[in-house]
Amino acid sequence: MNEDVLLRLAIAKQYAHHANFAGTPREAIADGYSAVDAMLSALLVHNGQELPKNHKQKFEEARKLFPKAFAAESVQRGNAWSFAPGADWVSLKARYHGGTIPLFGVPWSKVLDGVLSCASDVLKRKTSDHADPKQETITAS
């Protein structure tokens, strides 16, 4: 995996860790969205895309290229199972279009862990596995 992608993943993980220990809900949400933004950057860099400076454009490009990136997922490793609840793009879009995320009684840290887990799994697979079948994609090498 590209060093720049690994750096962005590390930054996302660091923001996620900070969100778990933030002093106020506002700080947790700010760190959480910074983690999501770093993850979106990792997805785009992994796909060989130029990173837009505008966060809304970055969000829309990642959403178009990776429509299933944040889907809920169960993963089996040997006899162990893990579940990542994921997040929906509509809730994540709120950050980039001036709204707030509806948490539905789920702690922000759980939502964030699910988002990072799902996106990390996306980066481990071929790009075309997560693209809309109607769209042509370029697999990063």
Handedness of CA 44, 46, 47, 48 (dihedral sign): positive
pLDDT in tens, 9-51: 899 889 988 888 878 877 887 888 888 889 899 999 999 999 9
Is residue 77 over pLDDT 50? yes
Give φ, ψ of 27 to 5 degrees.
Answer: -65, -40
Average pLDDT over residues 3-10: 92
Q: Confidence band (pLDDT; 50, 70, 90) for 61?
A: very high
Given this model, what pLDDT does residue 38 score?
A: 92
Q: pLDDT > 70: what percent of the chain?
A: 67
Min mean pLDDT across 26-35, 87-96, 117-126 is at 117-126
Q: Where are the domains of the chain?
A: 3-129
123/46 Cα distance (integer angstroms): 7
Paired residues of 81 in beta bridges: 76
Query: Residue 140, SS3?
Result: coil
Tell me which of 73 and 4 has the higher pLDDT.
Answer: 4
Task: Give the gyration radius of the chain's Cα atoms.
Answer: 15
* Token pair listed for 122: 């996306």
Tell me which of 1 and 109 has the higher pLDDT.
Answer: 1
Q: Where are the alpha helices (DSSP H) in the chain?
A: 3-20, 25-46, 55-65, 89-96, 108-124
Largest CA distance in the chain: 44
